[in-house]
Amino acid sequence: MLNLFGGGAGGRKVPLITPAQAAEMLRAGDALLVDVREPAELAQTGRLKGAINVPLATLAQRADPAGPAHEPAFRTDRPVILYCASGKRSDAAGQALLGLGYGAVYNLGGIGAAAAAGLPVERG
């Protein structure tokens, strides 16, 4: 069962998922894994295997399908799993994506808990 938190865009909340749920979603299909931390943080700790890095400050620009800086990996019909250091920035990122019309947005929380649960971390 998903634990919900956050203010929600238009009353919607960003579901908090477990590392096991995230791993299953990634294995099952087309989910996009996004690390919303700053590059300096990635240099210190690495990132979860397969994640793209889009810092929270630039997320809205890169995820907006109508924007000039749109990152093609972001599609409103594709599930997006977000994480950061603690889960706060990834929740804010989820709210931004919901506001842009994304339908399936999930908060994995912090990288430390995900790595401790066995999700692989890559460095470099």
The tens place of each residue's pLDDT in the chain, 124 residues long, gives 233 334 445 567 999 999 999 999 999 988 999 999 999 999 999 999 999 999 999 999 999 999 999 999 999 999 999 999 999 999 999 999 999 999 999 999 999 999 999 999 998 7
The one-letter amino acid at 4: L
Q: Which residues pair with 31 in a beta bridge?
A: none
Evaluate whether 83 touches 42 at the Cβ level (below 8 Å).
Answer: no
At residue 124, the pLDDT reads: 72
Statement: the pTM of the whole predicted model exceeds 0.85 = yes
Contacts of residue 51, Cβ cutoff 8 Å, sequence gap at least 6: 33, 34, 35, 83
At residue 5, the pLDDT reads: 38
Task: List active site positions.
Answer: 84
Q: Which residues pair with 20 in a beta bridge?
A: none
> Any idea what the Cα angle at residue 108 is, between residues 15 and 18, rounded to 5°?
80
Q: Which two tokens stand for residue 63?
A: 């995820």
Domains of the chain: 3-122 (3.40.250.10)
3-state secondary structure of 38: coil
At residue 11, the pLDDT reads: 62
